[in-house]
Structure 1
């Protein structure tokens, strides 16, 4: 069965979808990178200490069934003192199993001076993981879609 809509075949629709999806994911990755860069530009730095690891098994509220390899994830809870002298505590939004940090470990904390509750551990994962995932997936799919479009166009010309 041949699918054709207004002169476009299935290959053109798949190519268009791949390019659009790849461009969207690349744009999301760039936006997330911009958010991290903006955060870093305004961030204050303070020494902090991992006071505990909060183990959670909800995986961000996912309702899917748990596979055998899935287990609880450790989120570091960090204490630091902000520039105004007030002690602050926050739970990192990035967790892992095995844990990336140990109880009592010293870390550098980045936070906004105007809202110290918006704090992150100064680490690659907390700042750059999501931009790299979205941007990387987007670039790969965008590349595949573009390659399919170029090859298809060359075949039609030949």
Structure 2
């Protein structure tokens, strides 16, 4: 059970770190309008394990084109894919990017910014919580001696 608590705590801390990175990104990000120019269908899911989904259907990753302020047109593939696709070709999206490095861009959407922090943080909380409850429930209490 202590392994469950430790693993859950580690996942929770990873979730916090990812959330902190998203908050840091948001505080320094510039905004631009972009357009989904393609959907890149992939089965590898960027090496990320999706668990046992029961199938290995490809996921659609939006490829977005935008022009940063005073810059040249850029294209990026969002890091979050889905099936069915969350976006369609030609859809206008809001893009967040760092002015010093416009190649570091994301679609301004829940999945792009918060899916990984919430997944790790939520799973870690549940695992650590279950482990803690089990340990507390099974902990032996000292018995008093009666005379």
- State the TM-score, normalized to the length of structure 1: 0.82
- Residue 32 (structure 2) aligned to one of 46, 62, 67: 46
Which structure 2 residues correspond to residues 115-130 of structure 1 after superposition, within 5 A?
115-130=101-116
RMSD between superposed Cα atoms in Å: 2.0
Secondary structure at 2:46's aligned position in 1? coil
Residue 45 to residue 145, structure 1, CA distance change in 2 (3 Å)? same
Task: Kindly indicate whether residue 21 of structure 2 is the aligned counterpart of residue 58 of structure 1.
Answer: no
Equivalent residue pairs, number = 141
Secondary structure at 1:36's aligned position in 2? helix
- State the TM-score, normalized to the length of structure 2: 0.88
Equivalent in the alignment of 1:79? 65
Task: Kindly indicate whether residue 129 of structure 2 is the aligned counterpart of residue 156 of structure 1.
Answer: no
Equivalent in the alignment of 2:91? 105
Task: Kindly indicate whether residue 67 of structure 2 is the aligned counterpart of residue 70 of structure 1.
Answer: no
Residue 67 to residue 128, structure 1, CA distance change in 2 (3 Å)? closer
Superposition deviation, residue 150 in structure 1: 1.4
Separation (CA, whole Å) in 2 of partners of 1:157 and 1:149: 15
Once the two structures are superposed, residues 104-137 of structure 1 have per-residue CA deviations (whole angstroms, 9 ceiling, x without a partner) of 0000000000000000000000100001110011
Residue 126 to residue 21, structure 1, CA distance change in 2 (3 Å)? same
